[in-house]
Structure 1
């Protein structure tokens, strides 16, 4: 019997608990850390790698990916989709700048109700979407890396240059959070064989919060692979994830210990219900996920 692919995730967690390097991190929370990890997920049969050992809110993760693809950097549009995962950073900035201890709910309400307030306090700086779709070059021109990758996949799918990344050195200081999942590289196979070509994606992540971040990352990266494959008339192959500083926050140890007690359940399946005109036209309603039967969610704090 084949080993469930989620055991790759659980093996990393077990290694961190048993052998992780205890260290103080940027947030002050502290982590158990390791350097260098890899997981591979075969998506060729429609598998959607949404972890089962704790409930993952996959729609929220996919909505975040769709937001990245718009090139937007303000949380207002995310909040309109009921996605709150980026609020912590601008909220912390607002509290520090104004000296007020406004609640997250009040802050989000003001962002939604007041466009001027949102422009002033809701922007995250030139984070992922800006770099992916509107990279500002030294020549003063903007570059759409995602569109370039899709164009290359259509015209020269054996290229070794099909990637986009977000580590724009001159703009790092303006970002609310430096890019964690930095490089997305695509690889097309079976270009001369029978049947459809297979598209794989490798993501290099310099920093990975294994408890809260990674379950979202894997899910949304699989969604991106499905979208790009559909746009270029290929089928998904493998999602390959590579982690640099892969860490478990010290206040997430209860989460880690709980998921290790649970036996993974079958991954769900993903079907795209339509083929949009371009990568820019996908909506959350286009993602049909069936067979997801996770264990209950586990609450854990976000380190800012």
Structure 2
């Protein structure tokens, strides 16, 4: 993952300091693209440990069309908790609960979760029901029946429903491409948090590419990551600099259960990561 470190160094060196919605401040560059050839290994960062369990469960959550964090919380995944908690604090039911207490209520009280755990029509909703269109089904049918089409697209950016989302989609638009029986995926990400979000996004969409390739009987090609506002938050600069002192290790291998032929049939247990030997975890605070 030298490409990731090169991007970090480029942004730190040549980026521009900007204010942002969260009032944290960033070092930002506009328009950045990195290509990952999946034949070289699964692109999971090795210069810090990345929580693959969260990536897999989040992806399965997207594919299911779910938008309530309860499924994630019940499976020990906490990457989306801050947004509904921030919303809950504005409600008349808020009784000074901490984030930890809020998450426990989401876990143990289904009625509470139904009321306060939903993020609005975010990714999964748009993937499976974009104004009545199941984009994943359309994609898979298209790849099977017309692989050379230039319309293999899934969009999470639905202007009519942005106002109802707690966080408008950052990874907003993807296009698939078939060449020589190999399937590639290009993602356009409007807003790219280089330290916390991007390592997740690289692994998540690479895994999604592998899953779609399997159920459409195609081989795996490249994941192409195109970013709009690629930024390092000012409170992540030290963490990025620490990674820059670490030499990337050999990429791991992702093994998927070959018996799965429908995209909605994948379960967490169908994925096995082999030979992952990362440097220790580096923590950072998410900007909400």
Q: Provide TM-score, normalisation by structure 1.
A: 0.92
Q: Which residue does the alignment assign to 2:165?
A: 175
> What 5-or-longer segments of structure 1 have no aligned partner?
1-5, 137-141, 191-196
Moved runs in structure 1, 4+ residues, more than 3 A? Answer: none
Deviation at 1:298, TM superposition (A): 0.3
- In the TM superposition, 1:100-249 aligns within 5 A as 100-136=95-131, 142-190=132-180, 197-249=181-233
- Tell me which residue corresponds to 1:139: none
Counterpart Cα distance in 1 of 2:111 and 2:257:
37
The runs of 5 or more residues in structure 2 that have no matched partner are: none
Q: CA RMSD of the aligned region, Å?
A: 1.0
Cα distance between partner residues in 1 of 2:258 and 2:270: 6
Q: Residue by residue, what CA displacement relative to the aligned partner does 1:95-129 show, whole Å, maximum 9, x if unpaired?
A: 12245431122111111211211111000000000
Question: Pairwise mapping of residues 47-86 of structure 1 onto structure 2 (< 5 A)?
Answer: 47-86=41-80
Displacement of 1:209: 0.2
1:92 alignment counterpart: 86
What is the alpha-carbon distance in structure 1 between the residues aligned to residue 233 and residue 32 of structure 2?
17
Q: Deviations over 1:48-100 (max 9, x none)?
A: 10010111111211211111000011001111111110000000111122454
Q: What is the SS of the residue equivalent to 1:179? A: coil
Structure 2: how far apart are the matches of 1:44 and 1:129?
28
The reply on whether 1:15 has 2:10 as its aligned counterpart is yes
How many residues of Structure 1 are paired with residues of Structure 2 in the alignment? Answer: 287
Q: How far 1:20 moved relative to its partner?
A: 1.5
> 1:290 aligns to what?
274
SS at structure 2 position matched to 1:96: coil
- TM-score, reference length from structure 2: 0.97
Q: Deviations over 1:186-223 (max 9, x none)?
A: 01111xxxxxx111110010000000000000001111
Kept in 2: contact 1:62–1:219 (CA 8 A): no
**2:176 is paired with a residue of what secondary structure?**
strand
